[in-house]
């Protein structure tokens, strides 16, 4: 983590890795974000999945193994677990062993017959799957438009890795946030209650605590920017003054107005996405969306 932070702050545009946003406090703040009136993705995707579940179930068929990339608390997963017939197993993959250990008994209580095989790992480098029934169809699940946090190279790495792991008759249920007006996007990433601002600034709280840095939390403000050229929302932390910060014995100078770029959240155009999917060996078999075309759930096949 120290190396990643030092490297990110050494560049001309300072950056910090967005995965560092999710410590225990950051994960709680993200949970709060998902309930905000301005943050449409979670509730929209949940509604789409609920409506699509019978059709997904029909297309997927009986006896599949469900593999979730970045499972977290497996909240949206329950929609699929309720709809899919005679699942041969559920494999939640997550970097947080704690989260996997906490979630398993809760799921097992509600799905007593379901074989649950948690795997600790980074979904970008899909870890080997536990050997369940080798003949069972494998279905990946990657909701939340988390794919939008990845750059092109990582998207291709992920899609190709999932294709390899899920096999020739594998399927992938993918949630993607769609391109839309900045009038909707900016409030979604800069809410009136300031929860997203706390989520972003918590990155500095974490670096202070875990790496002994001396960021002055009141000297940075949250900013949500729409980057039209790259079709993405960006989170930045803007330095409010000329200041310097020391981390791991290294000093970093900030000019007033200079930013640390902390997250990209890409917004997809489905026609453009098709080319990216094809490069990763996938194609769209079904497309589900909401009436406002805010978000989309895709069923991908090979
Ligand atoms: C969990 C990565 C999908 O990009 O919308 C929410 C994270 N950042 N508000 C997103 C997030 C600011 C979220 N993802």
Question: Which among 233, 265, 267, 268 is the best mutation to test ligand 1's pocket, defined by most ligand atoms within 8 Å of the CB?
Answer: 265
Q: What is the dihedral of CA 157, 161, 162, 167, to 10 degrees?
A: 140
**Mean pLDDT rounded to a whole number for the chain:** 96
Complex confidence, ipTM? 0.98
Q: Is a pLDDT exceeding 80 seen at residue 126?
A: no
Torsions phi, psi for 274 (to 5 deg): -55, -40
Q: Half-sphere exposure of 275 toward its Cβ, with a 13 Å CA cutoff?
A: 5
Q: What pLDDT shows up at residue 204?
A: 98
Q: Half-sphere exposure of 92 toward its Cβ, with a 13 Å CA cutoff?
A: 28
188 C-alpha to ligand 1 centroid (Å): 9
Q: Which ligand 1 atom is nearest residue 149's CA?
A: 2
- Residue range 57-86: average pLDDT? 95
pLDDT in tens, 170-187: 999 999 999 999 999 999
What is this structure's pTM? 0.95
Any atom of ligand 1 within 6 Å of the Cβ of 263: yes
Q: Which ligand 1 atom is nearest residue 224's CA?
A: 12
- Residue range 132-143: average pLDDT? 94
Question: Which among 19, 20, 28, 149 is the best mutation to test ligand 1's pocket, defined by most ligand atoms within 8 Å of the CB?
Answer: 149
pLDDT in tens, 229-288: 999 999 999 999 999 999 999 999 999 999 999 999 999 999 999 999 999 889 999 999
Any atom of ligand 1 within 6 Å of the Cβ of 143: no
- Which residues in the chain belong to E strands, given as ranges? 14-15, 65-69, 89-94, 119-120, 138-142, 171-177, 220-227, 232-239, 243-247, 250-254, 259-266, 283-289, 295-301
Question: Which among 27, 69, 144 is the best mutation to test ligand 1's pocket, defined by most ligand atoms within 8 Å of the CB?
Answer: 144
Smallest CA separation from ligand 1 atom 14, residue: 146
């Amino acid at each position: 983590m120290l190396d990643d932070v030092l490297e990110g702050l050494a560049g001309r545009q300072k950056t910090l890795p967005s995965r560092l946003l999710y410590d225990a406090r950051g994960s709680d703040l993200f949970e709060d974000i998902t309930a905000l009136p301005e943050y449409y993705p979670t509730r929209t995707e949940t509604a789409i999945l609920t409506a699509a579940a019978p059709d997904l179930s029909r297309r997927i068929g009986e006896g599949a193994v469900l593999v979730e990339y970045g499972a977290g608390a497996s909240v949206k997963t329950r929609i699929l677990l309720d709809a899919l017939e005679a699942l041969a197993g559920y494999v939640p993959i997550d970097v947080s062993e704690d989260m996997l250990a906490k979630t398993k008994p809760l799921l097992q209580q509600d799905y007593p017959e379901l074989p649950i095989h948690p795997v600790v790992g980074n979904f970008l480098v899909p870890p080997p799957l536990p050997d369940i029934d080798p003949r069972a169809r494998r279905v990946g699940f990657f909701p939340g438009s988390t794919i939008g946090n990845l750059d092109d190279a990582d998207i291709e790495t992920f899609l190709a890795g999932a294709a390899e792991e899920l096999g020739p008759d594998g399927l992938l249920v993918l949630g993607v946030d769609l391109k839309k007006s900045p009038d909707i996007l900016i409030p979604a990433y800069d809410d009136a209650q300031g929860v997203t601002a706390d989520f972003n600034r918590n990155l500095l709280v974490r670096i202070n605590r875990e790496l002994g840095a001396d960021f002055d939390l009141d000297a940075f403000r949250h900013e949500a920017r729409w980057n039209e050229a790259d079709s993405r929302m960006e989170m930045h932390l803007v330095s409010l003054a000329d200041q310097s910060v020391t981390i791991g014995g290294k000093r970093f100078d900030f000019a007033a107005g200079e930013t640390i770029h902390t997250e990209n959240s890409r917004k997809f155009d489905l026609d453009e996405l098709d080319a990216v999917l094809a490069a990763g060996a996938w194609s769209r078999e079904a497309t589900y969306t909401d009436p406002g075309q805010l978000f989309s759930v895709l069923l991908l096949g090979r």
